[in-house]
A and B are shown apart, each in its own frame.
Chain A
Amino acid sequence: MTTHSIKWFWFASPHTFYPLAGAIARICAALALVFGIAGAYVAFFVAPTDAQQGEVYRIIFIHVPAAWMSMFIYVVIAFWSALGLAMQTRLSAMMARALAPTGALFTFIALWTGSLWGKPTWGTWWVWDARLTSELILLFLYFGFMALQAAIDDRRRADRAGALLAIVGVVNIPIIYYSVQWWNTLHQGASVSFTRAPSMAATMLTGMLLVALAFWMYSIAVALTRVRCEIAEAQ
């Protein structure tokens, strides 16, 4: 058992992680390209045109995976933060720090593509829908996390303060989400419904999953590259 745990922590040292991160980043970057091209092919050429929305619906191939990533990355940041606070590992804090810009980017992409989709479909760039609003607040949480880390010069303090904020944020996200949803139903009728056609065509789902995989690989590659920069800077 002990040998097992030693193996686990072998790569917890930035020094040993550096070459591994480089190898994984290269593989993931290549995979991101492959999945991205496959996803784009399915999205543009295989998936049928939507009967009601026409071609504009194709934006969901970016929108939905970006929204998934935006939420998932925040949870991953909180996970690394908790690990970093509990285990005092420098690498965990570096991972959290490296993931934040990517998470913010995907949140922004989700909001932006959502509004591009909303204009022709709902006739408006923005509605105070529960999901849009909570996604916007998620973006603020990302900005807060990055701003706090940027404002603290001492690296150790910045890492630990950011970690605490990320954990407080992840505890609050469900509360924020449900309160916004409730506020939305209270203030306006169901003017906009996100429910799509109940049976999504299999090709559409395939396309979305391919793009989601591409985003995953991209996120891993970019985050690990950023971690490598952090390690190189720290040495």
Chain B
Amino acid sequence: MLDIARTLVWRDLLLALRRRSDIATALLFFIIVASLFPLGVGAEPNLLRAIAPGVIWVAALLSSMLSLGRLFAGDYADGTLEQLMLGAAPLGVVVAAKSFAHWVVSGLPLVLIAPVIALQYDVAAPLYGVLALSLLLGTPVLSIIGAIGAALTLGLRGGGVLLSLLVLPLYVPVLILGAGAVDMAAAGLSPAGQLELLAAMLIMAAAFAPWAVAAALRISAE
């Protein structure tokens, strides 16, 4: 079972590597959205410092959501998904592996680039670690929960916009906890509470969401 998961992760990563522009687009989107805010609200350093965690997190939310459409669409179109559903491996494991690969491609780059954005927003250096850690714990949750929406909207017309309507309300807790952790640290308090809750959400989502995604895939692909 683990072999299958490893093979799937490797396959998805290889596919992503062959189409590098897909990774780059999501990452560029993240950077551009984050760069638009100072142009909109003004370059006042205190203001930027105050909105930085929220802006970075909202940009991460949108960027991760944009790439969700690709999670199952390719496999659905060429019939791979059907084979995976017929295969011996439990569909939940397949989904977990694919979500993990999706996170490595779309979430992990955000974790690595976020401190640079924080630099642009004049965020104090000690906060970079908290920001990266909150994204490290939070973005996998986005991938797993988003997979439910991606599976439900598989093959629908206007799937992209619909996907955002389904998924964004479910992202609210992650946004609150993620941006809240950085806010707490900026206020000189310990962000441990928020980070621990994020970790708890990650564990819960990783344990239960893949089965919901599996059910959704069976509904969509039958």
**CB–CB B153/A148 < 8 A:** yes
Q: Cβ of A144 and Cβ of B169 under 8 Å apart?
A: yes
Q: Which residue of A lies closest to B201 (CB)?
A: A175
Please tell me if A51 contacts chain B, counting CB pairs below 8 Å: no
With A148-B152, A160-B219 as known contacts, state yes or no: A175 contacts B166, CB within 8 Å. Answer: no
Q: Is the CB of A175 within 8 A of B173?
A: yes
Chain B nearest CB: distance from A64 CB in Å? 23
Q: Interface readout for B4-21 with A: 1 if CB under 8 Å, 0 if not?
A: 000000000000000000
| A186 interfacial by beta-carbon distance below 8 Å | yes
Smallest Cβ distance from A84 to chain B, in angstroms?
12
CB distance from B36 to the nearest CB of A (A): 23
* In the complex, chain B residues whose CB is within 8 Å of the CB of A53: none
User: How far, in Å, is B61 (CB) from chain A's closest CB?
Assistant: 14
Interface size on A, residues (CB 8 A): 27
**B interface residue count range (under 10 / 10 to 19 / 20 to 34 / 35 or more):** 20 to 34
Interchain CB contact under 8 A, A180 and B215: no
Pair A164/B216 contact, Cβ less than 8 Å: yes
Give chain B nearest CB distance to A164 CB in angstroms. 5
Which of B152, B162, B169, B183 touches A176 (beta carbons < 8 Å)? B169
Mark A residues whose CB is within 8 Å of B: 85, 137, 140-141, 143-144, 147-148, 151-152, 157, 160-161, 164-165, 167-169, 172, 175-176, 179-180, 182-183, 186-187
Residues of B within 8 A of A (CB): 148, 152-153, 156-159, 162, 165-166, 168-170, 172-173, 176-177, 180, 183-184, 201, 212, 215-216, 219-220, 222
